[in-house]
Structure 1
Amino acid sequence: MRMEKFAARFFNMTDEVWAKHANPLSVWTRYSCLPLLCIAVWSRDWIGGWALIPGVVVILWVWLNPRVFGKPKTTNHWASKAVLGERVLLMHPKDQIPSHHLRAIGLLKSVTFAGFVLAIYGLVVFHLWFTVFGTILTILGKTWFLDRMVWLYQDLEDQNAQYRSWVY
């Protein structure tokens, strides 16, 4: 959970930013980040040091993404509830999160991390299949994690008036 809290602080996730990030466009366009970053890193083979430019642009996009879309008209979407579930995961006392969610979250983080490490390895050694497979594994792990966040949100929304107020 420490990594999620660090990321929330790094991204300065205020209530307003969380509300904008709950826009499904924010969630779905965020899927572009890892493939674009891989292309930017791989481009060092084609354009040398100039590869830093697309890399910086992608990192800027990662930071801006939760901010550029407006607050959605409704948060009654799978993607919106996935973001709300991530917010619950950060806010809810860990000892009060049902154990079946914690086990699944740990497993899915491991799958996502393994895919990410494989993608990084592929980028370092210019191995296309490691890069592609690692990226796919990372995205699948993250998608399954987001689905678990929807489930977590739905399980805990009735216990907390603030959580319930996020769905409109």
Structure 2
Amino acid sequence: MTLDATMARAFGLEGDAWQRHANPWSVYTRVPIPWLLAGAIWTRTRIGRWSLVPVGAVCAWTAVNPRAFPPPRSLDHWASRSVLGETSWARREEVPVPPRHRVAPHVLGALSALGLPFVVRGLVVRDGWMVAFGLAVQSAGKLWFLDRMALLYDEAAPAPAAATR
């Protein structure tokens, strides 16, 4: 089982849950989560232990978000196609993805992960520019990854699903 599939299961993304997560509202309200979490952690020196309240709220939203919205009425949205492309990517051991889509997701996942050490170090030493740089790298990698997943969905979607678009 791939890491992507394991994480999807951890967030309860099985069966119809992927359809709910494909709602553009689900995608677009997930994008700022790393920034909100960093901001919540940043408040620790100002509000002390009370910073656990916003940290907990962001973590709770992260857990609830994939199932908080109804399935989309249409799959014409880039966000919907990106999430459904992620389903294909997560199942790549069972259903192979086209050759041209096999490298970029790994590279973009690594790019996204490259921002994390800057975020962590910046939060520890309270360097806002370092945090912002790390979050920008992480966000760029993730959004580019989502764009590749939309392309994967457009190319690899089964005919009946593509016909509903």
- With the length of structure 1 as denominator, give the TM-score of the two structures: 0.90
Q: What does residue 146 of structure 2 align with?
A: 146
Which AA in structure 1 matches 2:146? L
For 2:164 and 2:150, the matched residues in 1 are separated by: 12
Unaligned runs of 5+ in 1: none
Q: Cα RMSD between the aligned structures? A: 1.9
Q: What does residue 80 of structure 1 align with?
A: 80
For 2:163 and 2:121, the matched residues in 1 are separated by: 39
Alignment of 1:29-40 (within 5 A): 29-40=29-40
Which AA in structure 1 matches 2:57? V
**Residues 2 and 90, structure 2, Cα contact 8 Å, conserved in 1:** no
Which AA in structure 2 matches 1:53? V
Higher mean C-alpha displacement, 112-121 vs 139-148: 112-121
Q: What does residue 104 of structure 2 align with?
A: 104
How far apart are residue 2 of structure 1 and its match?
3.2
Which AA in structure 1 matches 2:120? I
How far apart are residue 48 of structure 1 and its match?
1.2
The structure carrying a bigger helix percent of its residues is 1
Which AA in structure 1 matches 2:109? K
Which AA in structure 1 matches 2:84? L
How far apart are residue 3 of structure 1 and its match?
2.7
Identity %: 37
Secondary structure of 1:13's match? coil
Alignment of 1:1-168 (within 5 A): 2-93=2-93, 96-157=96-157, 160-161=158-159, 164=161, 167-168=164-165
